[in-house]
Structure 1
Amino acid sequence: MTTRQALLAAALAHAVRGWPVFPLWPGSKTPAVPDSWERRATCDPDLIGRWWASRAFNVGLAVGPADLLVIDLDTPKPPHGRGAATSATSVTSQVNPVAVSDPVAVASATGPAGRHGRDVFVALCAEHGQPIPADTLIVATPSGGWHLYYRHPPGPALRNTKGGTARALGEAIDTRAHGGYVVAEGSVIGARAYTVVRDRPPAPLPGWLADVLRHLDRAAQSPPPGRPVAVPLAATDRRSAYLAAALAREADHVRAAPAGRRNAVLWGAAVALGQLVAGGDLTADTVADVLEQAAVGAGLRPHEARPTISSGLRRGAQRPRMVAS
Structure 2
Amino acid sequence: MSTNDFREAALGAAARGWFVFPLRPGRKTPAIASWPEFATTDPARIRRWWATHPRRNIGVATGPSGLYVIDIDTHTDPDPLVRLADRIGVQVPATFTVHTPHGRHLYFQAPTTLELRRCTVGRIASGIDSRGDGGYIVAPGSVVAAERYRVADPHQPAALPDWLTDWLAPPPPPLVPTPAPSSPNAYVAAIISSEAARVTHAANHFRNATLFHAAFTLGRLIAAGHLTEDHARTALTAAASPHIGQHEFTRAELDRTLSNGLTYGKRYPRHLNTHPIANLGGPK
Equivalences for 1:86-101 in 2 at 5 Å? Answer: none
Equivalences for 1:228-307 in 2 at 5 Å? Answer: none
Q: Whole-Å Cα distance in 2 between the matches of residues 142 and 211 of structure 1?
A: 28
Q: Where does residue 247 of structure 1 map in the other structure?
A: none
Q: Would you identify which runs of 4 or more consecutive aligned residues in structure 1 move more than 6 Å? A: none
Structure exhibiting the larger radius of gyration computed from Cα positions: 1
Q: Whole-Å Cα distance in 1 between the matches of residues 114 and 165 of structure 2?
A: 10
Q: Where does residue 141 of structure 1 map in the other structure?
A: 100
Q: Whole-Å Cα distance in 2 between the matches of residues 58 and 162 of structure 1?
A: 23
Q: Whole-Å Cα distance in 1 between the matches of residues 164 and 177 of structure 2?
A: 27
* Aligned amino acid, residue 197 of structure 1: A
CA deviations on 1:81-105 (whole Å, 9 max, x unpaired) are xxxxx6xxxxx6xxxxxxxxxxxxx
Report the alpha carbon displacement of residue 131 of structure 1 after superposing the two structures with TM: 1.7
Q: Where does residue 229 of structure 2 map in the other structure?
A: none
Which of residues 73, 80, 83 in structure 2 aligns to 1:123? 83
Q: Where does residue 21 of structure 1 map in the other structure?
A: 20
CA deviations on 1:130-153 (whole Å, 9 max, x unpaired) are 1222x111100023x010111112
Q: Tell me how many residue pairs correspond in the alignment.
A: 176
* Aligned amino acid, residue 13 of structure 1: G
Report the alpha carbon displacement of residue 128 of structure 1 after superposing the two structures with TM: 2.8
Tell me whether 194-203 or 120-129 shows the greater mean CA deviation.
120-129
Report the alpha carbon displacement of residue 54 of structure 1 after superposing the two structures with TM: 1.7
Q: Whole-Å Cα distance in 1 between the matches of residues 143 and 19 of structure 2?
A: 19
Q: Where does residue 203 of structure 2 map in the other structure?
A: none
* Aligned amino acid, residue 177 of structure 1: G
Q: Whole-Å Cα distance in 1 between the matches of residues 167 and 106 of structure 2?
A: 17
TM-score w.r.t. the length of structure 1 is 0.51
Matched, 1:169 2:168: no
RMSD of aligned alpha carbons:
1.9
Q: Whole-Å Cα distance in 1 between the matches of residues 177 and 70 of structure 2?
A: 31
Report the alpha carbon displacement of residue 126 of structure 1 after superposing the two structures with TM: 2.6
Report the alpha carbon displacement of residue 223 of structure 1 after superposing the two structures with TM: 4.2
* Aligned amino acid, residue 203 of structure 1: A
Extract unaligned runs of 5+ from structure 2. Answer: 179-284
Q: Where does residue 152 of structure 2 map in the other structure?
A: 197
Matched, 1:49 2:47: yes
After superposition, the Cα gap between the structure-2 partners of 1:225 and 1:128, relative to the gap in structure 1 and judged at 3 Å, is: farther
Report the alpha carbon displacement of residue 212 of structure 1 after superposing the two structures with TM: 2.2
Q: Whole-Å Cα distance in 2 between the matches of residues 139 and 176 of structure 1?
A: 14
* Aligned amino acid, residue 156 of structure 1: L
Equivalences for 1:42-121 in 2 at 5 Å? Answer: 42-55=40-53, 56-75=55-74, 106-107=77-78, 118=79, 120-121=80-81
Q: Whole-Å Cα distance in 2 between the matches of residues 187 and 226 of structure 1?
A: 51
Q: Whole-Å Cα distance in 2 between the matches of residues 192 and 224 of structure 1?
A: 47
* Aligned amino acid, residue 40 of structure 2: T
CA deviations on 1:253-280 (whole Å, 9 max, x unpaired) are xxxxxxxxxxxxxxxxxxxxxxxxxxxx
Q: Whole-Å Cα distance in 2 between the matches of residues 16 and 62 of structure 1?
A: 14
TM-score w.r.t. the length of structure 2 is 0.58
